Amino acid sequence: MSASSPPSGTSSARRRAEAVLAVERDQRALEPTDRVFFVHQGYQFEFMRGTGPDPEVWSYSEGEHADVPVRSWASFPDWLRATTEAEIPAWKHHVETVREEINADGSITLRW
């Protein structure tokens, strides 16, 4: 199998992550058992490394850390907890400051 042809059953997120790595010409960043679960803006992604029930979370961001993945969280639950805690204040602010209006055609207008 070549670096440009992912194994069958490969997730869309993994294919997108492999595309990011192809730009950097480094397919070694992902191991066959890594599971990509988050891709952002086509230049960074996060993935679970390890086959156990509580895998580590690693991150890759183009142009950072010499373009190699780094271990970001000791476990997926740690990543999920930290991400949720970071997003709650942003969502609360959104709810308090943005009013959504549904238009006659079904579209939504946001009013700040």
2 lies in some domain: no
Q: Three-state DSSP class for 39?
A: strand
Burial of 6 (0-12, 13-18, 19+ CB in 10 A): middle
Q: Which residue has tokens 């490394």?
A: 49
Find the DSSP H helices in 1-112: 12-24, 76-97
Does a structural domain hold residue 70? yes
Residue 54 · residue 77 · CB < 8 Å: yes
Residue 6 maps to a domain: no
How high is the pLDDT of residue 55?
93
**Higher-pLDDT residue of 80, 5:** 80
Structure confidence at residue 94 as a pLDDT band (50, 70, 90): confident
* Residue 59, SS3 per DSSP: strand
Asked if residue 39 belongs to a domain, the reply is yes
Would you say residue 4 lies in a domain?
no
Q: How many domains does the chain have?
A: 1
Is 33 part of a structural domain of the chain? yes
Nearest to 59 by CA among 23, 10, 49: 49
What is the extent of the structural domain holding 22? Answer: 12-111
35-56: average pLDDT: 87
pTM for the model stands at 0.61
- Residue 2, token pair as written in the block: 């070549």
